[in-house]
Structure 1
Amino acid sequence: MPERSRLALITVLLGVGLGLGGQGCAAQNEHASAVQLRGEFLQSWVWRLPDPEFGGFSGLKFLEDGRLFVTQSDRGTVWRGTLSRDATDRIIGVSRTGGPVPLHDRDGQVLDRRRGDAEGLAIAPQGGIYISFEGENLARVAYYPADDAPAQLLPRPAAFDRFWPNSSLETLAIDAEGTLYTIPERSGAKEAPFPVWRFRNGAWDQPFTIPRDNTWLTVDADFGPDGRFYLLERDFWGLLGFRTRVRVFDIRGDRISGGEVLVETSAGTHDNLEGLAVWRDRQGTIRLTMISDDNQRFFQRTEFVEYRVRAQKP
């Protein structure tokens, strides 16, 4: 990310004030200061592992509602795990079940750091995963029938070469029909909308855009069990930390709605949330589960953050 070089110095100076260290692997449930609109904060659970490859997670999806998860590091590795929950679906533990598994190119060679900047993740209906990558002239989407399998590259539009080198295909989501959607992290200018790219029937098109809102940048997306398109956004406020926002849209053919804000936090409420999974809990409520990219810095944290979407009165 473009913020990383700046973040390394300024966050360590303010680490204590932002609460970036000393959390332990426990739920931090009572102190979130989010400005909640329709999203109700539930909890944050810090996840740590004594593995030098751990961290840098920038995508998140569930294989089983709210429990079996897949995530990928922007260092080019795939991880799998389980969120243990109590009877109310509250997180009570996190365990790794697989990974780190290095991603490969189409020739079966392990991706190096330059080619392995994996940013978006989607679960394929036929099994396996889709991964989106960014990098200078490296923006692409690949299908992996198994985590350690050679990449099967999707066609690559020439327009992908025009994305910012380190701010391209940050999001990846798949709808109930198996259509993929991806959005670059940056649109090119504050007044320029974000182009939404769609892959179906073996080809890409760009049916619509999402207006850009000042310094908010797109970082992940998911289709919920209600069929709606949920977009995770981030805003970096320097010394104050990160802001997080989740909006929801309705996609109908080649049109997208204006979007509703579900969650918008103040700076420093959470760490650098970059992965989003949307699911329905045992009470029938939509939940938003997010994971943070700690940039593999000791003064940041990997955390799972959960909100639920409150029902609205007609």
Structure 2
Amino acid sequence: MVPTPVTASPISQFRLGSDETRFGKLEFLGGLVLGSSDALFGSVSSIRFLDDGTQFVSVLDTGHWLRGRVQRDPDGRLAGLTDVRITSMTDALGRLEAQKYFMDSEGVAVRGAEILVSYERKHRVDVYPAGDFERARPVGTVPILIPEGLLRANGGLETVVTAPKASPLQGAAVIVAERSVDESGNLLAAILDGPRKGRFSVAARDAFAVSDGTFLPSGDLLLLERRFNLATGVAMRIRRIRAGDLVPGAVVEGDVLIEATMADQIDNMEGIDALPMPDGSLHLILVSDDNHSVFQRTLMLEFRLDE
């Protein structure tokens, strides 16, 4: 397979016209504006880094896998992507990405020998074999615990993430809906397996929608949120949910780590992953979904989390 060529332009300032690097609990380290001559590149919905900290797996909401490797400059900053490949996803019946209703992939999580993918429209969490996921059909499906009738067609299972094994959730998979709400107006969510299996809710605030999440080594859950309206444009927020609060029946709120607006280098932010670094620090990598629009960008941003 021929690698997909990807260009990368550096982002040195997060806040436009400012050298400020501290934003809430995060320190901005740098970023990239990504592009490609391959028409399939874009629409990134989620990202997960593998154990070596350079290779990653993403899903595109067009029903494609995207995998590659990040490159860094001599100072350790993001410099580009290499070994990028885009391949079609297949469902259990062999249907390919051309059938959007079946293959609207929104979230991805890596758990041992499994890769979990959450889908909207045809709501489900499919399980792919990690060793051959690009060519394989799903080998199973994880029951989502949330009645499908409660999930909006375009606002359903945006997030799937797996907890660390050495955490209260003991490696469980967790899903959070983008805009689908319970009777109290809070976002639907569920712990799909493990000792705390059951449904919970995420408090909906300020018209933000959850677009992805990642667990920290402590078992705390970070939720990436986005908002768009014509009056104020795009906005982004990250909330931190404490591990002890993730129990069936709970309505979790969390603390805001950062909130960004059009004054900052953001776009339609859809993916987040936590990346432990060799020096013991914890970095967050965020990616955006350009919807294959000339008016949007595919961004990759990196922050250091102040613990």
Residues 53-107 of structure 1: CA distance to partner in whole angstroms, max 9, x if unpaired? 1110000110035411111110000010111123543111212332x21111112
SS in 2 for 1:161: helix
Alignment length (residue pairs): 283
In structure 2, the gaps of 5 or more residues are: 1-6, 166-170
CA separation of 1:170 and 1:186: change in aligned 2, threshold 3 A:
same
CA separation of 1:154 and 1:172: change in aligned 2, threshold 3 A:
same
Contact kept in structure 2, 1:76 and 1:113, CA below 8 Å = yes
Question: Is the aligned partner of 1:36 residue 2:23?
Answer: yes
Residues 206-248 of structure 1: CA distance to partner in whole angstroms, max 9, x if unpaired? 0x22211120110000112332211100111326431111111
Residues 259-280 of structure 1: CA distance to partner in whole angstroms, max 9, x if unpaired? 1211110236211110111112
Higher strand share: 2
Contact kept in structure 1, 2:145 and 2:190, CA below 8 Å = no
In structure 1, the gaps of 5 or more residues are: 1-23
CA–CA separation in structure 2 for the residues paired with 1:76 and 1:25:
24
Look up the equivalent residue of 1:197 and give its one-letter code.
A
1:139 counterpart residue number: 123
SS in 2 for 1:171: strand
CA separation of 1:186 and 1:268: change in aligned 2, threshold 3 A:
farther
Residue 293 of structure 1, CA deviation:
0.3
Q: Which has the higher contact order (CA 8 A, sep 6+)?
A: 1
CA–CA separation in structure 2 for the residues paired with 1:202 and 1:56:
35
Higher helix share: 1
CA separation of 1:31 and 1:218: change in aligned 2, threshold 3 A:
closer
Residue 48 of structure 1, CA deviation:
1.2
Which deviates more from structure 2 when the two are superposed, residues 153-162 or residues 172-181? 153-162
Aligned counterparts, 1:161-310, within 5 A: 161-177=149-165, 178-188=171-181, 192-200=185-193, 205-206=198-199, 208-238=200-230, 240-252=232-244, 254=247, 258-267=253-262, 269=264, 270-310=266-306
Residues 163-198 of structure 1: CA distance to partner in whole angstroms, max 9, x if unpaired? 111000001110123310011101348961122211
CA separation of 1:190 and 1:197: change in aligned 2, threshold 3 A:
closer
CA–CA separation in structure 1 for the residues paired with 2:188 and 2:293:
31
Residue 31 of structure 1, CA deviation:
4.7
SS in 1 for 2:28: strand
Look up the equivalent residue of 2:233 and give its one-letter code.
G
Residue 159 of structure 1, CA deviation:
1.0
Residue 256 of structure 1, CA deviation:
7.5
Quick one: percent identity of the two aligned structures? 28
Look up the equivalent residue of 2:275 and give its one-letter code.
W
Question: Is the aligned partner of 1:110 residue 2:99?
Answer: no
Residue 49 of structure 1, CA deviation:
1.5
Residue 109 of structure 1, CA deviation:
2.9
CA–CA separation in structure 2 for the residues paired with 1:257 and 1:118:
25
CA–CA separation in structure 2 for the residues paired with 1:49 and 1:308:
27
SS in 1 for 2:188: strand
Q: TM-score, normalised by structure 1?
A: 0.82
Look up the equivalent residue of 2:37 and give its one-letter code.
P
Residue 202 of structure 1, CA deviation:
11
Task: State the superposition RMSD in angstroms.
Answer: 2.5
Could you tell me which of 38, 48, 65 is aligned with 1:61?
A: 48
Residue 125 of structure 1, CA deviation:
1.4
Contact kept in structure 1, 2:15 and 2:263, CA below 8 Å = no
SS in 2 for 1:277: strand
Look up the equivalent residue of 2:225 and give its one-letter code.
E
Residue 258 of structure 1, CA deviation:
4.0
Look up the equivalent residue of 2:255 and give its one-letter code.
E
Contact kept in structure 2, 1:170 and 1:218, CA below 8 Å = yes
CA–CA separation in structure 2 for the residues paired with 1:278 and 1:118:
21
Residues 130-177 of structure 1: CA distance to partner in whole angstroms, max 9, x if unpaired? 100001xx1110011122211222235461222111000001110123
Q: TM-score, normalised by structure 2?
A: 0.84
